[in-house]
Amino acid sequence: MPRRPAKVTQADIARAIRAAKAAGASAVTVDAEGSIRIALAESAASIEPTGGTDEVWAPSEALKSYLKRTESG
């Protein structure tokens, strides 16, 4: 009988811990069902969305040249 795939891999946990440290988390828990929970500290800074919906994005010259090189057909 083949083994079933892991619900959470070691890489998933490592990524969650790194992100939690960067966000100022106080705890990271992984339960038996594979859910990763990150408890943020009360002093962690919240990220506010930017309100500038009228901003226009234009690709840089480097991005334009990269996209031109990767176009197929």
Provide the residue range defining the domain that includes 31. Answer: 1-43
Query: 56 lies in a domain?
Result: no
- Report the distance separating Cα 45 and Cα 40, nearest Å: 9
pLDDT at residue 73, as a whole number = 43
Query: 59 lies in a domain?
Result: no
Query: 17 lies in a domain?
Result: yes
- Report the distance separating Cα 5 and Cα 44, nearest Å: 35
Query: 32 lies in a domain?
Result: yes
Report pTM. 0.48
Confidence of residue 59 (pLDDT cuts 50, 70, 90): confident
Query: 39 lies in a domain?
Result: yes
Percentage of residues in the chain having pLDDT higher than 70: 73
For residue 44, what are the CA distances in angstroms to 6, 14, 35? 31, 20, 22
Residue 11 confidence (pLDDT) above 70: yes
Beta carbons within 10 angstroms of residue 20's beta carbon: 19
Query: 58 lies in a domain?
Result: no
Query: 53 lies in a domain?
Result: no
